[in-house]
Amino acid sequence: MGHILAIDQGTTSSRAIVFDAAMQIKATAQEEFAQHFPNSGWVEHDASDLWATTAGTCRAAIEKAGLAPGDIAAIGITNQRETTIVWDRKTGEPIYRAIVWQDRRTADYCRQLRDAGHDALITARTGLLADPYFSGTKLKWILDNVDGARDAARRGELAFGTVDSFLIWKLTGGAAHVTDATNAARTMLYDIHKGRWSRTICDLFDIPMDMLPEVRDCAADFGMTRPDLFGRPIPILGVAGDQQAATVGQACFAPGMMKSTYGTGCFALLNTGNTAVVSKNRLLTTIAYQLDGKPTYALEGSIFVAGAVVQWLRDGLQIIRHARETQALAERADPTQNVVLVPAFVGLGAPYWNAECRGAVFGLTRGSGPAEMARAALESVGYQTRDLLEAMQADWAATGAEPTLRVDGGMTASDWSMQFLADIIGAPVDRPVMAETTALGAAWLAGQRAGIYPDQAGFAANWALDRTFAPQMDESLRTTKYAAWKRAVAATMSF
Among 6, 9, 10, 302, binds ligand ADP (CB under 6 A): 10
Interface with ligand G3P by CB under 6 A: which range of 163-171, 240-248, 397-405, 429-437? 240-248
Q: Is 221 annotated as a binding residue?
A: no
State how far the Cα of 160 lies from the Cα of 174, in Å rounded to an integer. 13
State how far the Cα of 447 lies from the Cα of 4, in Å rounded to an integer. 6
The DSSP string of 263-327 is SSSEEEEEEEET--PPPSSSPEEEEEEEETTEEEEEEEEEES-SHHHHHIIIIIS---SSTTHHH
Name 405's bridge partners: 258, 429
Q: Is 12 annotated as a binding residue?
A: yes
The answer to whether 261 and 438 have CB atoms below 8 angstroms apart is yes
- The residues in 83-112 that bind ligand G3P, with binding defined as CB under 6 A, are 101
State how far the Cα of 296 lies from the Cα of 230, in Å rounded to an integer. 34
Query: Is residue 324 part of the contact set for ligand ADP (CB under 6 A)?
Result: yes
Q: How far is the CB of 166 from ligand G3P (least distance, A)?
A: 15
Phi/psi for 478 (5° steps) reads -60, -45
- The residues in 317-356 that bind ligand G3P, with binding defined as CB under 6 A, are none
**C-alpha to C-alpha distances, 91 to 75, 176, 299, nearest whole angstrom:** 24, 14, 39
Q: How far is the CB of 202 from ligand G3P (least distance, A)?
A: 22
Among 28, 80, 162, 385, binds ligand G3P (CB under 6 A): 80
Cα radius of gyration (the chain): 22
- What 3-state DSSP class applies to 74? strand
Among 276, 413, 427, 460, binds ligand ADP (CB under 6 A): 413
Kindly tell me which of 81 and 216 has the beta carbon lying closer to ligand G3P.
81
Kindly tell me which of 12 and 200 has the beta carbon lying closer to ligand G3P.
12
Sign of the CA dihedral with 322 first, then 327, 331, and 333 last: positive
Cis peptide before 335 (omega within 30 of 0): no
Binding at 324: pick from ligand G3P, ligand ADP, none (beta carbon under 5-8 Å per type): ligand ADP
Q: How far is the CB of 138 from ligand G3P (least distance, A)?
A: 13
Strands (E), 304-403: 340-342, 360-362
- The residues in 260-279 that bind ligand ADP, with binding defined as CB under 6 A, are 263-264
User: Counting beta carbons within 10 angstroms of the beta carbon of residue 491, is it exposed (0 to 12), middle (13 to 18) or buried (19 or more)?
Assistant: middle
Name 78's bridge partners: 8, 240
Q: Is 15 annotated as a binding residue?
A: yes
Query: Is residue 323 part of the contact set for ligand ADP (CB under 6 A)?
Result: yes
Query: Is residue 307 part of the contact set for ligand ADP (CB under 6 A)?
Result: yes
Kindly tell me which of 65 and 310 has the beta carbon lying closer to ligand ADP.
310
- The residues in 380-399 that bind ligand ADP, with binding defined as CB under 6 A, are none
CB-based contacts of 280: which residues, under 8 Å, 6+ apart?
394, 395
- The residues in 65-84 that bind ligand ADP, with binding defined as CB under 6 A, are none
The answer to whether 82 and 45 have CB atoms below 8 angstroms apart is no
Query: Is residue 263 part of the contact set for ligand G3P (CB under 6 A)?
Result: yes
Among 187, 247, 260, 264, binds ligand G3P (CB under 6 A): 264
Q: Is 437 annotated as a binding residue?
A: no
Kindly tell me which of 19 and 101 has the beta carbon lying closer to ligand G3P.
101
Interface with ligand ADP by CB under 6 A: which range of 4-12, 344-352, 396-404, 441-449? 4-12
The answer to whether 252 and 271 have CB atoms below 8 angstroms apart is yes
Among 98, 171, 184, 310, binds ligand ADP (CB under 6 A): 310
Kindly tell me which of 80 and 272 has the beta carbon lying closer to ligand G3P.
80
Binding site for ligand G3P (CB under 6 A): 10-11, 80-82, 101, 241-243, 263-265
Binding-site residues from annotation for ATP: 11-13, 264, 307, 311, 410
Binding site for ligand ADP (CB under 6 A): 10-12, 263-264, 307-308, 310-311, 323-324, 326, 409-411, 413-414, 417
